[in-house]
Structures are given as structure tokens and as C-alpha cells.
């Protein structure tokens, strides 16, 4: 049956009474803190995001055009959302890439430690971020080597650390499959934020070091 809630035939619940969508499906808000995830196809961008947001792991590779997920956080005693944009690994959408960068507050650059090419492909992305933002000096950027549980590596840890040093960004190895360093990745990213003093509350618990930092900086906590 189509038409209004009060159409002929049967009655339907008015839309205003329906429950709100989950946080990760909510429309964009002006006070969202936007994190953009870049990387070549198949490096595990979506797996990292889904592991963090939903606690699940998807073993099959499904190419992404662009997906956005959200987590509700508290920032300076007010509520906002952590918006995570999982971008396409294809080079066919340059306009979409530029738009994501222009709107982003922080960036995660993901490669697979099993593919040196995936690390090399991040170079143009990093340069585009610098070009659009003007500088990344005050912008959190994380270089992430995913699939560190794999034994067939093409990228040595020291090699990736050297790239991160050249780009003046932080570096971390992760495994979405094994749930290794996934939440820690987002914790570190928000710790790098100096403009809004943000922090991530992992499973409702923080280390004593993080609690001291929170008291000093008045940080933003994940609800």
C-alpha cells in the first residue's frame, strides 16, 4: 500500500513515530568530526572501519565506492559524532577524493604490508592532502600498515616508518582480521588532534596515562 500514512485501505505508523536510525546511518551534522580513510583496493580499509564501528570482520573483498559510518562522542561536554568515511580504492573518482579531503578533519592512509605497490600508491594521496589543505602540520594523519598478521610481507616495518617520518605523520601496523591495534589506531588519531582536544574511550576504560592526559587537556570521549 502506498501513499500517506492515512491513505485508504490500511493505516501505517506516521514516520515521525519511527525510531531514529542508528548513529552510523545518521545524516551529516555540522559538528561531526570527519575522519577519511584512503588506500588502494583490497588493503583492508573497509575491514578496519567495520571492525572498529561494528566489531565484525568481513573476509570477502567487496569494492567500495564510498561509505560513511558514525560513532556518537562527547566533546567539551557536548555531543557530536565521529564520522568515518571509507573511500573507494579506485582512481576513477578524483572529484570525490578531493571533496572528501576538503571536508576531512583527519586522515588514515592504509596500505597492506603484503603489497609494496599499495604503499607507493599512497604518495599521490598524501600530496593531494597537502595541496588541498595547504599544510598537514596541524592535521592528524596516520600511515597504517594493515594485514600485519600475514607472513608474506613486501613492506618492512622500518621502510614504512621511514615513509611516515618523511611525511611527518604517525605510523601503526594493524590487523583487522585479528582485531590487532584497530581501536588503538583511532585512539592515536584523536590523540594527534590539537585543535579540538579529542580522545577515544575504549570499552569504557582508559589507561592511567590517558586519564592523566584527559585531565590536562579536557578531551573528547567516545560514548
Residue-wise pLDDT tens digits, 117-174: 999 999 999 999 999 998 888 899 999 999 999 999 999 999 999 999 999 999 999 9
Q: Which 3-state string (H, E, C) describes the chain?
A: CCCCCCCCCCCCCCHHHCCCCCHHHCCCCCCCEEEEEEECCCCCHHHHHHHHHHCCCCCCCCCCCEEEEEEEEEECCEEEEEEEEEECCCCCCHHHHHHHHHHCCEEEEEEECCCHHHHHCHHHHHHHHHHHHCCCCCCCEEEEEECCCCCCCCCCHHHHHHHHHHHCCEEEECECCCCECHHHHHHHHHHCCCCCCCCCCECCECCHHHHHHHHHHCCCEEC
33-199 maps to which CATH number? 3.40.50.300
pLDDT of residue 18: 44
Query: pLDDT above 90 covers what percent of the chain?
Result: 45
Residue with more model confidence, 146 or 81: 146
Q: State the average pLDDT over residues 176-190.
A: 91
pLDDT tier at 206, thresholds 50, 70, 90: very low
What are 204's three cell numbers?
Answer: 569504557
Residue-wise pLDDT tens digits, 22-48: 444 444 555 678 999 999 989 999 899
pLDDT tier at 54, thresholds 50, 70, 90: confident
Q: Considering the chain, what is the average pLDDT of its residues?
A: 77
| pLDDT at position 175 over 80 | yes
Out of 30-34, 194-198, 212-216, 219-223, pick the least confident.
212-216
Domain ranges of the chain: 33-199
Amino acid at each position: 500500500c502506498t501513499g500517506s500514512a492515512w491513505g485508504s485501505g490500511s493505516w501505517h505508523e506516521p514516520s515521525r513515530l519511527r525510531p531514529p536510525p542508528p548513529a552510523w546511518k545518521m545524516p551529516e551534522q555540522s559538528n561531526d568530526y570527519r575522519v577519511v580513510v584512503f588506500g588502494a583496493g583490497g588493503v583492508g580499509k573497509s575491514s578496519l572501519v567495520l571492525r572498529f564501528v561494528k566489531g565484525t570482520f568481513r573476509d570477502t573483498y567487496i569494492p567500495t565506492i564510498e561509505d560513511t559510518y558514525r560513532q556518537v562522542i562527547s566533546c567539551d561536554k557536548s555531543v557530536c559524532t565521529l564520522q568515518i568515511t571509507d573511500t573507494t580504492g579506485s582512481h576513477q573518482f578524483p572529484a570525490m577524493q578531493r571533496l572528501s579531503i576538503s571536508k576531512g578533519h583527519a586522515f588514515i592512509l592504509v596500505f597492506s604490508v603484503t603489497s609494496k605497490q599499495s604503499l607507493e600508491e599512497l604518495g599521490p594521496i598524501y600530496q593531494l592532502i597537502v595541496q588541498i589543505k595547504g599544510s598537514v602540520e596541524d592535521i592528524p594523519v596516520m600511515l597504517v600498515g594493515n594485514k600485519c598478521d600475514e607472513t608474506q610481507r613486501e613492506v618492512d616495518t622500518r621502510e614504512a616508518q621511514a615513509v611516515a617520518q618523511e611525511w611527518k605523520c604517525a605510523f601503526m601496523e594493524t590487523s583487522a582480521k585479528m582485531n590487532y591495534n584497530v581501536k588503538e589506531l583511532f585512539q592515536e588519531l584523536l590523540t594527534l588532534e590539537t585543535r579540538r582536544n579529542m580522545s577515544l574511550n575504549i570499552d569504557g576504560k582508559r589507561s592511567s596515562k590517558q586519564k592523566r592526559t584527559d585531565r590536562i587537556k579536557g578531551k573528547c570521549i567516545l560514548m
